[in-house]
């Protein structure tokens, strides 16, 4: 399969349904933000792989790769206009379970924190912010398409940013990073 097709030279691209749409369309913007998030998760995995050892390192990198695969599936759902459904209730639920699992391994958070600490934890927060941006675009897309019942893939994306926040805290704990709490300005 060749990479260069030249079919997009006039500012359009094809969907899974065979439709040609503008590259500036909300659909393509959403798929682009999901792609950016997926790339960021790949880089995060590399940072974790290259970093110090800790108890759940392989489990976490395997789960991040699971999420990356999920984002590819999300793109196919969206691009097919939900003719192809890949997500069900179990997918957001799995993220909730992982959040609860990691939370149980850390002290309770009692203050707002700055996004800081180890490179791995700090980059997890960058990735979390990309997930939030993709989520906002997903809402815009769903509203523009007048989709009243939000799909489970959206719920998964919504939970993903919570998972990444929790993961950042966990990585700081495991890799010796410091959580810096916010302070009120005077």
Q: How confident is the model at residue 182 (pLDDT cuts 50, 70, 90)?
A: very high
pLDDT one-digit tens code per residue, 87-138:
999 999 999 999 999 999 999 999 999 899 999 999 999 999 999 999 999 9
- Per-position b or e across 101-113, b if 16+ CB within 10 A of its CB: ebeeeeeeeeeeb
Q: What is the DSSP letter of 70?
A: H
Closest CA to 113 of 63, 173, 53: 173
Among the listed ranges 130-139, 157-166, 177-186, which one has the minimum average pLDDT value? 177-186
Distance CA 170, CA 164 (A): 10
Q: Walk me through the domains of the chain, giving residue ranges and CATH numbers.
A: 18-106+113-175 (1.20.1200.10)
* Tokens matching residue 3: 């990479």
pTM: 0.92
pLDDT digits (tens, 9 = 90+) for 17-68: 777 767 768 888 999 999 999 999 999 999 999 999 999 999 999 999 999 9
Is pLDDT above 90 for 1?
A: no
Residue 115 and residue 155 in contact, taking contact as beta carbons nearer than 8 Å: no
């Amino acid at each position: 399969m060749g990479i260069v097709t030249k079919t997009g030279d006039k500012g359009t691209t094809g969907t899974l349904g065979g439709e040609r749409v503008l590259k500036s369309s909300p659909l393509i913007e959403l798929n682009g933000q999901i792609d950016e998030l997926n790339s960021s998760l790949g880089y995060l995995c590399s940072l974790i792989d290259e970093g110090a050892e800790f108890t759940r390192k392989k489990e976490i990198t395997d789960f991040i790769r699971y999420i990356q695969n999920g984002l590819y599936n999300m793109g196919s759902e969206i691009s097919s206009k939900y003719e192809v459904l890949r997500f069900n209730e179990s997918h957001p639920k799995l993220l909730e379970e992982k959040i609860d699992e990691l939370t149980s391994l850390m002290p309770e958070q009692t203050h707002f924190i700055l996004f800081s600490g180890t490179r791995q934890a700090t980059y997890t927060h960058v990735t979390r912010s990309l997930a939030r941006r993709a989520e906002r675009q997903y809402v815009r897309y769903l509203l523009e398409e007048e989709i009243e019942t939000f799909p489970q893939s959206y719920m998964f994306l919504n939970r993903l940013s919570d998972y990444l926040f929790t993961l950042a805290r966990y990585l700081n704990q495991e890799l010796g990073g410091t959580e810096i709490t916010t302070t009120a300005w005077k």
